Structure 1
Amino acid sequence: MSVAALALVAPLASAALTDPSDPAPAPTDRITDTSRLPSGWQKSGDRIVTYDGDATGLHVLVADAADAYRWHTAATLSEPGVDTDQWIGQTCVTGSGDRAVVVYAPRQAVNDQQGFQQGAFAAVVDLADGRVTKLPELVSLAYFNPGCGDGEQAVLTRPQGDDTELLTVDTARAKLVRQQTVAGQLTSAVPFGNEIAAARGDAVVSVDAKGDTSTLAKTGGTPFRLVPDAHRGLAYQVPDGKQVQVRRVTSAGSDQLLGSGALGSLAVHGNGGRVFVTGRDAEDAVKHSALPKSWRTLDVPASAEVSTTGSLALTSVGNGTEAAGGRKTASGLAQPVGIDAVLPGSDSSVGFKVVPKAAAQGAEQSPALSDGVHTDSVHMKSTADDDPATSTTDPDRACAVTRNDPKLQSLQPSTAQAEWATDLAVQGKLDVRRRSGWNGSELPSYTPQGLFPSTPLKGGGRVPAQVMLGVLSQESNLLQASSRAAAGESSNFIQGGYYGNAGSVHTVNWAAADCGYGIAQVTSGMAKADTTYTAEQQQALTVDYAANIAAGLQILQDKWNQLYDRGLLVNGGDPKYLENWWLALWAYNSGLNLPSSTDASAPWGLGWFNNPANGLYPADRTMFLSSGYDDARTPNLWTYPERVLGWAAYSQQKTDPATGAAVRAFTVGEWPSGAPAAEPAHDTFCKPTANDCDITKPRKVAGSSQPEGPCQRDDFKCWWHQPVSWTDCTATCGTEVLKYAAGDPEPKVAAPHPAACTSTLPANALIVDDVPNTVKFRVGSTNPCAGKRNWTSRGTLTFTFGSAQQNGATVYPSKIDFHQLGAGFGGHFWLTHTRVPSYTDSVVTGTWTPDRKVVGSAEVMVHLPDHEANTPSATYRIDLGDGTVVEKTISQDTGGKNAWVSLGSYDFAGTPSVSLASATGDGTGDASIAWDALAFVPVRGK
C-alpha cells in the first residue's frame, strides 16, 4: 500500500444545526410541545437510541417517550491513548430496550482491511444507569455488526483465519457466553430462537450450538438486514437486480415474499420482536394482508432509525463536523449533535439539539487490549539523548521521522490553505518559497514542488483538484498535524500506525508500524530504513502540509501511470473527469497486484477488498454522502474510491470559527446531472469473463475468511485488470472547479492559542522552560515571539517513560499517548493523560532542574497552558535541595488562560528539582496533564 489508509467521511449537516434562517422553533433536547405527542405518551415504553462520534468518543444517546423524548448520554465510548479525531461505530438495542450493544473504533480503522475486519471494540451499555461493560474480543466493523435478537442476546462477528467466529453476548450479564467458529464467513448474524440466523451466499442459514448449519431459505442474491420477529419468523432483504425484496422466513423453513421496490427504497428494522418496513412507498410496496401482527410499515425514509415501538423515526443525526477533526468545544465538551425526526403517521417533524457528555467508565481500557502485556516499573533517569527510556523521541522507532522532536513539529493548515496547496499542486505551480528554519525546523530553504515535482500523466492531462482533495479528506480529514492542534498551531504529525499498536495504549510493535505521515498519509519512502526520499524530503513532508500534498500528488500520479501502462483506463481514460480516477484511487489505497513474470494465467489486478461488489458493503447503499451528512458516521459502508468521490462531490464540513456553523471545507466539483448519475453500479467490476466474478451466483467458499458473494474463485483473487466503461463522461461525469489560480498567495491563519512569549514574573525569577533555549518557535515562516522574549531558560526538563517487555524487547508504551503542542509559555509544552498508578507502562514523569543552587526562601511557580491541561489532581513533588521532599496538588484547569500558578514558598538549601507524574488516583485516561515552564522566584526579606 503506497499511502496509509487513515480517514473517514461527510456532506451537509442536519438542518437542526446548519440552517439558522429556518423559521421553525430552535431545536432543544426534548419535544417541548407535548400536544404533538400521541395520547398516552406519559406511560409509553417507547425508546429511541442513536449514536454519533467525535474526538471525545462515540456517544450513545437515548430518549424516552415518557420523558417527551428528552435526550441524554447513556455512555461515551473511547480507548485511552488512541490518537483519533473521530470515533465511529454502530449499535443495536436488545428486545427489552434496556441495553445497547455497541461496536466502536477510531476512524482510521475503516481504510485498512485488517482494521476493518478485526479492529473494532465492543461493549454492552446499560441504558438506564449508563454502566459500560467492555467485552474482551475485537470484532468486525462490517455494517451488520452487532446483531440483536428479540430477547437479551446479541451476536458479534469477526473473521478468524479461514473461518468466521460468532460471539454470542448475554447482555443481561454483559458477558460472552458462546464463541463458535464456522467455516467460511457468515454475514448479518442475529440470535434466532436458540440458534443464530445469518446470510451465507444465496441462502439464509441457521447455526446451532455445535456450529452446524442448516438452510432456512434459498434466495436469488445475498440476503442482508436480518431481523427476528415475535412469531418465530425472520425478516430479511435480498437484492433482485435493481430491485430489493422484503421477505420473511420461519424457523420451519416457510419463505414468503412480502413486497419489493427499487433498491434503496425499502429497509427492515426491528426490536423486541417488532419489525418495521420503512420507505416512502412502503405501504404500497408491501402486502399488508400478509403481514404478521408484529410487523408494520412506516412512511418514513428507508434509512431512518426507528424507536422500539415505531413511534419516532430519526431522519438525520450528526454534529456537522464528522470526519473533520471533531475537536472538543471551547467548554471542553463534545460537539453538539443535531437530530431531525418525524412522528410516523402524523406528518409532524421535530428537531433536537443534544450536547453529549462523557462517562468516565466508557473511557476505561477495553480488556480486548489487555492480554499478553507485561509491564516493568518506570525506568530510572539516564543522560543519554538516544536512550528511549528518557528521550522524548523514539530512537528505537521503525519510521523515518520521530515523534516528539520540538524541532520537527507539523503546522496544522486551515482548510483554505489545504485547498490552496492542492489547487496549485495539480497545476504544477506549488512553488512558494519556504525559508530556512521554516516552522522552527532546521531545514534549508526549499519549495514544495522543488522537492516533490509533479509527474506528467501518461496520455496527457492532469489530476483534477477535487480528486486530490477527496484523497486528503479520506486519508487525514485534511489534517497535517495531530487533531489536538487547531489551524495555525503546531504539534506532532498526524500518523496512522506509527507504533504498530492496533489501537492499544499498552502495545508497541515496531515490526507492524505503518509509517503514514501527514495530510496525504505518505507511507512510501517513510520507513527508517527506506532511502527513497532524502532526509530533507522526509522532514519537509513531515513539518509542511504543502510539501506533504506535493508528495501525495506524486504517488497518485504514479498510480495513474502504472495503470495506464497496462491499459487499465476508465470511460475512455480522459483524466479531466473525476470518475475516470476510480481505478487509480483503488490502487492508491490498496495497491496493484502485478502480473506474474512466470505464469501468464495467474490472477493480477486490483484487490477484492475495495471492489464495490464485495459483500462487506450493503447492496442497497447509495452514493456516499448523497443522502445526507449521516453517511459520515458510518464510512465502513463504502469502498475507498466511493468515499473519495463522495468527498469530491459534497466536501467535508468544518466549523466556521467566526459563526460556529458547519460549512464546506473546500470547493466541490461540477456534474451536469448530479454526482450520483455518474456512479458505477455495484457490479461494474464483477464480470465472469474479466475477473471470475458473477453477481448472479453468490458463492460460498469452504474455509474462507471472505464473505460469501459473487467471486467464483476459491482464493478470492477476483482481481480487476481490464479497462472499464460505464458512462458517457461528456454527459454525466464530474470535472474540477479551481478556487485558486497559479500565483495566488498562501492564505493566512491566526492561531487560536497564541504563545505566552513574555514572562510576567519578577526579573530575578529563575525560569526552567520545557525545551532548551536552542528550540526555535516559528509558525510557518513567522516568529510570533520576535522581540518579546525577555527571559532565558536556566535549567532542563527531563523525562522518564514507563516501559514494558514485549516480544523479547523493552518498549515504551507511555510514549503512545505523549504529545507536544506549539503553544503555552515560549511556544511549546508537553502533555499526556492521567492514568492510575498501576498502569506503570503508561506513566510519564517530568522533572524540572535549574542549572544552579537555590538558597533561601523562594516561591515555586508553574506555567499552565490555556488548553489541553485539565486534570484536577496534578501532584508536584518538590525537592528542596537537601533531600527534603514536599508535595503540592493543584488543578491544571486555568479556565482557558495561559497562567502562572503558585505551588507555594519553600526554604531551599541546594539544587532543587520539581517532578510531576501522570499517575493519579483518579486517572482514567480522559483528563490531560501538561508540562510547561516552571520558575523559582526568590522571596524578599527571607
Structure 2
Amino acid sequence: MALVAPLASAALTGSSPPGATPLPDRVTDTSQLPSGWRQSEDRIVTYDGDGTGLHVLVADAAKAYKWRTAATLSEPGIDTDQWIGQSCVTASGDRAVVVYAPRQVINDQLGFQQGAFAAVVDLVDGTVTKLPQLVSLAYFNPGCGDGEQAVLSRPQGEGTQLLTVDARRASVTREQTVPGQLTSAVPFGTGIAAATGDSVVSVDRQGDVHTLARTEGTPFRLVPDAHSGLAYQVPAAGKKVEVRRVTDAGSDRLLGSGALGALAVHGTGGHVFVTGKGAQEDTPGSVLPKNWPQDWRVLDVPAASEVSTTGDLALTRVSNGGEAAGGDTVTVVAADGAAQPVGINALAPETGAAFDFRVKPEAPRRSQGAEQSPALGRSADDESTGITTNSVADPSAGLHTNSVESPSAAMRLDSADDDSPEHTTTDPDRACAVTRNDPELQALQPSPAMVEWATDLAVQGKLDVRRRSGWNGTDLSSYTPQGMFPPVALEGGGRVPAQIMLGVLTQESNLVQATSRATAGESGNFIQGGYYGNGGSVHTVDWSAADCGYGIGQVTSGMARSDTTFTAEQQKAITVDYAANIAASVQILQDKWNQLYKQGILANGGDPRYLENWWFALWAYNSGFNQPDASDAAAPWGLGWFNNPANGLYPPDRKMFLSSGYDDARTPNLWTYPERVLGWAAYSQQKTDPTTGTSGPAFTVGTWPTGKAPDAQPPHDAFCDPAANECDTSKPRKVEGSSQPEGPCQRDDFKCWWHEASTWTDCTATCGTEVLAYKATDPEPKTTSSRPASCASTLPANALIVDDVPNTVKFRVGSTNPCAGEKNWTSRGTLSFTFGSAQQNGATVYPSKIDFHQLGSGFGGHFWFTHTRVPTYTDSVVTGTWTPDRSIDGWARVLVHLPDHEANTGQATYRIDLGDGTVVEKTISQDTGGKNTWVSLDSYEFHGTPTVSLSSDTADGTGDDSIAWDALAFEPLPAEPSDATTASPSPQK
C-alpha cells in the first residue's frame, strides 16, 4: 500500500529557501515577452490572502509585468489566520470587484451564503469602496460582464438576490430577487444571465426570467463576449465537459469538449479564453481557431490558469505558501503585522516562456481596505456611539450553533478594582460559558506534534495524560482528558481513524487551540469565532447572536452560558486544554456516526476503518442532521443540502481538494466540508519549521491501496436521487409562478436532504486507512515558545514595578513554570482599564473588548494589546492606567516594559499624573525590533500617588498598528537627573 505524499510547492511559496536566489517581481528577460509588449494594454489581476487581509495584486505588460498591490482588504475586529475570496475585472481593466471573507465562514452555511464582504477596487490609484451588502462566497461570485458592470448574488429566502454593481460609480444600482437557486450570474445585454437547473436564463430589469438555452446538465462559468454572445460550460455524459455559446437571440452552439476539469472558460471585457492543455485537439472543426467566434482564443495553458485581460499572460499558480499552513508560517517568516510574500508562476501563451515571481504585498492605501464595511452597520464617518446595527450573518461564526438565552449575572470577574463591565477585562454580560481576557483562563497553543499525539491517543481511547491541579495557570483540579470526556463506542464496532479527526481539526481551526496570534508554547485567548455575535463588526456586540465555538475542534454544543450539558470544569478544560478539546471533539464525531448508523445512513457498507466511509458523519459534524418527523412520514429529513456535492454552490469540474496542489487552500470555498476534510487527511496541512524556514507536513497522512486518494472520491451526483431526496440533475423542477426550471434540488425550500445508504466504491480496493504516528504509551511531546517571557527584572532593586496583572495570577506553560527561580520582583500596584461603550438594542455594550487581547509572554509572562483607532471611534477606545500602591515624593524615572511582539505603534502617548494633578504627556514608538525591553519615559518630580495612562486612540489609528500594556516601573532618583522633564500641565481627557 502506498502513502499519498504531500505535493511540492516549488517556486509557489512566497518565501525563498535559505541560500536561494530571490525571485524577481517582474519579467527580467523581456525578450521572452510577446512583441509590442511596451505598447500593450494587457493587465493581469490576482489575489491571495493571509492574516493581514486579501491582497489584490496587479501587473501590466507595458511595465514588464512588474507586480504591485492595488489594495489589501480586511475587516477590523475579525481574528483570522487567512482572508479568502475572489475577484473579477471590468472591461476597462481599471477596476476589480472583489468578494472577501475570513477563512472560517466556509464552515458555516449562513456565513458561506450571506457572510462575505464586497468591494470595488480602483486598480490605478488603489481607492477602495466597500459595498453595503453581504453576499455569497460561492465560486462564481462576483461575475463581470463586457462593460463596467458586475453582478453579486446571495440566497434570499427561497430565491436568489441579484445585485448589479456599477463599478464606475462603485455602487449597487439594482437589487432583484428571483425564485429558485441561480448561479454564475453575470451582466448580459441590459439584464443578467445566469444558470439554473438545466438552463441558461436571462433576467430582465423587471425580474422576469427567460430561457436562453436548455442543456443536459447545470451550466457554469458564464462569460459574456463582445458580440451579444455568452460562453458557458456544461457537464456532459462520460465525465466530459462541453464549451458552448448562446446568443441573446437564443442560438446555442457547441464549440468544444474535453474531459471534465480539462477545459475552462475565462474572460474579461468581451474577450473569451478557453484554457486547457490540448484544448485545441478536443474542439470540433478541422481548422482552429477559424471556426471560433471573434474575440475568442484557445490558450494552451492549464485549465485552472488565471488569464490576463488580453490573454498574453496566464498564471498557473499563486500562493504565499501559508494558506495550508495556518498561522505559523506568517508568524515565522513575516514581522508583526506584515503581509506574507506571494509566489506566482506564469506562462506567456504566445511564446511559451515561463516566469516565476515573488511579490511583497504593500498596498498604497491600506487604511481604506482595513476600514469597516458599511455592510456591518456603521460607516467610517459615523462619530456617534449610538449605533444602529444590521442583522447580518456572522462571517466568523463557528459550528453546531446553540440557541442562547439572555445572559445572567457575571460568573467571575478579573481582579480590577472596579468590577463593572466598563472596567473589567472580562465580559460579565456574555452569552458564552467561558469569558475572554481572563488571565487565569488562557488557552495553551500546541505544536503540530502535540496535536497529532493527542489525536492518535484519543482515537485509541488512551488520552489519559494527567493534568495536575493548576494546569496552565488555571484553578482546575487534576483531571485526564478522556477521563473528563470518555470516548463513545461506535455502533457496529471499530473507531474513528486518526486522519479523519486530524482533517476535522485542520478545517475547524488550522490546528490551533488559542488565537492565531499565539505561537506554539505560548498562551492566549481561545479563538474568538462568533463569541460577540458581531458579524465581523468591531462596533457591534449582539449576545443573542453569539456562536460559542471553542478551541481546536470549535466545540460549540454545551458551551453556551445557559447550557448545562457540561460542568463549569469541563467548559474550562475545553477552553484552555487542546487535549481536552480534542477528546470532546472525538466524542462529538462518534455521536454523529452513531446517529447516522442507527438510521442506516452508511457509506460503502459502513466499515469505519476506511476514511471515505466517514463522509456522512463529517457532513453531520459540520451542518447537523435533521431528524425524521414522527408525525409526518413524508416530511424531508436527513443531511442538509448545503454540503451535498451536487449543490451548484460548488464548481462541477472540481477535483479532489488538494490533489492538484496546495494552492487549493487559497480557495477552500470551492469544496464541501467532507471534501475538505478528506483532502487534509490525504495531503496534510503544511507547517513551517522556525529553525530552518522550510515547510513540511503537519501530521502523518492516510494510506491508499492505489496511492491515489481521488480514486475513492464519490461522484458529485452520488447523493442526488429523485426518489431519495428529490434531486435530479436531468429533470429539474418547475418554480411556481415561473416557466423556468430549477435544480438539481427540485424543492422550493431546498430541503433535498439525504438519508440513504450509498456505495460508490469498493473500499478494499480504493479507500484510505489511517496511519498512527504515536502509540498509546507515547509521552506528550514538548514545545518551547519562540517568544519566551522576560521573567527577571534588570531594573535597580529599588524600582517600584507595577505589573499588568495581579501577583495572584500564575504564569504556566502547560504543567511547567518557565519563570521558576527567576522572578526577583513583586508587583506593587494595579493596572486598571476603561473600555469604550455603545448603546445597542437598549443595552450598554462594550465593542472595545472585541479587539482586545492577552498573550502569555512579555514581562512576567503576560501582557494586553489592541489596535489603534482614531479618537472619533469612542466605542473602540481602551485606556489602561497603572497606579502604584504608595505615594512618591521626589524625583523618579518612569519606565515601561514593551513586549517583543504585538506592539508596533509609533504614537503611544503616555499621560503621567505627577500625583498633584499635573499631567505630562510623553509619546514614544512601541516598536522594539522584536525584543523584550524597558524604555524610559523620562524622569519627573512627583508629589503624591502618581498614575500613568495609555489609550488606544491615536491621530493615525487605522486598526493596523498594535498598542500594548505590559509592566511599568518607577525608579526613585536621589536628585534631578539629566533626563528630567519639565512641562506644563495638559488637560485631562
TM-score (norm 2): 0.92
- Provide the rounded CA distance (Å) in 2 between the counterparts of 1:24 and 1:766: 50
What letter is aligned with 2:794? T
> How many angstroms does 1:466 deviate by?
0.3
1:7 is aligned to none
Residues 488-509 of structure 1, C-alpha deviation per residue, up to 9 Å, x if partnerless? Answer: 1100011321111111111111
Q: Structure 1 residues 775 and 702 mapped into 2: Cα distance closer, same or farther (>3 Å)?
A: farther
Q: Matches of residues 755-834 of structure 1 in structure 2 within 5 Å?
A: 755-834=789-868
Where does residue 729 of structure 1 map in the other structure? 763
| Rounded Cα–Cα distance in structure 1 between residues aligned with 2:267 and 2:666 | 20
Which one of 322, 344, 347 corresponds to residue 352 of structure 2? 347
In structure 2, relative to structure 1, the CA distance for the partners of 1:136 and 1:12 (3 Å cut) is farther
2:148 to 152, 166, 185: 152
1:356 Cα offset (Å): 1.3
Whether the aligned pair in 2 keeps the contact of 1:376 and 1:841 (CA below 8 Å) is no
| Corresponding residue for residue 939 of structure 1 | 973
Does residue 738 (structure 1) correspond to residue 772 (structure 2)? The answer is: yes
Structure-2 residue corresponding to 1:628: 661
> What amino acid maps onto 1:907 in structure 2?
E
Which sections of structure 1, spanning at least 5 residues, go unmatched?
1-9
Separation in 1 of the partners of 2:9 and 2:735? 42
SS of the aligned residue for 1:516 comes to coil
**Cα deviations by residue, 1:172-227 (Å, 9 ceiling, x for unpaired):** 22222222232333211111122211112222122222222222222222211111
In structure 2, the partner of 1:133 is 129
Aligned to 1:836: 870
Contact 2:386 2:840 in 1 (8 A): no
The farther-off stretch of 12-21 and 677-686 is: 12-21
- After TM superposition, give the deviation of residue 20 of structure 1 in Å: 7.6
Equivalent of 2:335, from 324, 331, 337? 331
Please name the residue that 1:83 is paired with. 79
Aligned to 1:73, which of 53, 69, 74?
69
Q: Which secondary structure state, in structure 2, belongs to the residue aligned with residue 475 of structure 1? A: helix
Q: Is the 8 A contact 1:57 1:76 kept in 2?
A: yes
Do the aligned partners of residues 23 and 795 (structure 1) sit closer, same or farther apart at CA in structure 2, a change above 3 Å counting?
closer
1:189 aligns with 2:185: yes
* Corresponding position: 1:296 with 2:297: yes
8 Å contact 1:817–1:833 — kept in the other structure? yes
Q: 1:788 to 1:612 in 2, by over 3 A?
A: same
Residue pair 1:457, 1:561 contacting (<8 A) in 2 also: yes
Q: Tell me what 2:399 maps to.
A: none
- 1:925 is aligned with what amino acid? G
- Cα deviation 1:729-768 (Å, max 9, x = unaligned): 0000000111111111111111011111011111111111
Report the residue type matching 1:580 in the other structure: N
Does the 8 Å CA contact 2:198/2:741 hold for their aligned counterparts?
Answer: no
Counterpart-to-counterpart distance in 2, 1:295 and 1:547: 57
With 851-860 and 862-871 compared, the bigger mean Cα shift is at 851-860
Q: Is the 8 A contact 1:85 1:323 kept in 2?
A: no
Contact 2:135 2:152 in 1 (8 A): yes
Q: Is the 8 A contact 1:376 1:840 kept in 2?
A: no
Structure 1 residue runs of 4 or more that deviate by more than 4 Å after TM superposition: 18-26, 371-374, 381-386
**Counterpart Cα distance in 1 of 2:236 and 2:732:** 12
Question: How much does 1:18 deviate?
Answer: 9.0
Q: Counterpart of 2:310? A: 309
Distance in 2 separating the partners of 1:64 and 1:213 = 39
Paired residue total? 929
Q: CA deviation at 1:700?
A: 5.1
Cα distance in 2 between the residues matched to 1:760 and 1:385: 31
* Residues 15, 320 of structure 2: 8 Å contact kept: no
Q: How does 1:464-475 map to 2 (within 5 A)?
A: 464-475=497-508
* SS of alignment partner, residue 495 of structure 1: coil
Quote the offset at 1:154 in angstroms.
Answer: 1.1
Kept in 1: contact 2:99–2:141 (CA 8 A):
yes
Do residues 851 (structure 1) and 885 (structure 2) align? yes
Q: Does 1:15 align with 2:11?
A: yes
Q: What residue number does 1:122 align with? A: 118
Seen in structure 2, the aligned counterparts of structure 1 residues 404 and 371 have a Cα distance that, compared at 3 Å, is same
| Distance in structure 2 (CA, Å) of the matches to 1:693 and 1:272 | 36
Unpaired stretches in structure 2, ≥5 consecutive residues: 1-5, 388-413, 977-989
Q: 1:398 to 1:24 in 2, by over 3 A?
A: closer
CA distance in 1, matches of 2:840, 2:902: 31
CA distance in 2, matches of 1:141, 1:19: 28
AA paired with 1:594? Q
Does 2:423 align with 1:418? no
Aligned to 1:177, the other structure's residue is in SS state strand
Instruction: Determine if contact 1:320/1:654 at 8 Å carries over to the other structure.
Output: no
Q: Name the structure 1 match of 2:426.
A: 393
Equivalent residue in structure 2 for 1:643, among 662, 665, 676 = 676
In structure 2, the CA distance between the partners of 1:65 and 1:701, relative to structure 1 (3 Å rule), is: same
Deviation sequence 1:617-663 (CA, Å, 0-9, x none):
11111111111112111111111101100110111111221222222
Q: Which residue of 1 aligns with 2:633?
A: 600
Query: Partner amino acid for 2:262?
Result: S
> Are residue 661 (structure 1) and residue 661 (structure 2) matched?
no
Say whether the 8 Å CA contact 2:385–2:837 is kept in structure 1. yes
Q: 1:671 to 1:382 in 2, by over 3 A?
A: closer
1:677 is aligned to 2:673:
no
Which residue does the alignment assign to 2:440?
Answer: 407
* 1:226 counterpart (222, 225, 233): 222
TM-score (norm 1): 0.96
Distance 1:626 1:19 in 2: 23
Quote the residue 2:262 is aligned against: 265
- Give the residue type in structure 2 aligned to 1:355: K
Q: Deviations over 1:302-356 (max 9, x none)?
A: 1111111111111111111114334354433211211111111433222111121
Cα distance change on mapping 1:306 and 1:844 into 2, 3 Å: same
Aligned residues of 1:495 and 1:521 also touching (Cα < 8 A): no
Tell me the distance in 2 between the aligned counterparts of 1:297 and 1:602: 49
The answer to whether 1:486 aligns with 2:482 is no
Q: CA deviation at 1:940?
A: 1.9
Q: What displacement does 1:550 show? A: 0.6
Q: Does the residue aligned with 1:517 lie in a helix, a strand or coil?
A: coil
Partner of 2:30: 34
Q: How far apart in 2 are the matches of 1:601 and 1:177?
A: 43
Which residue in 1 is equivalent to 2:483?
450
1:50 aligns to what SS in structure 2? strand
1:285 aligns with 2:282: yes
Deviation at 1:794, TM superposition (A): 0.7
> 1:941: Cα distance to partner?
2.0
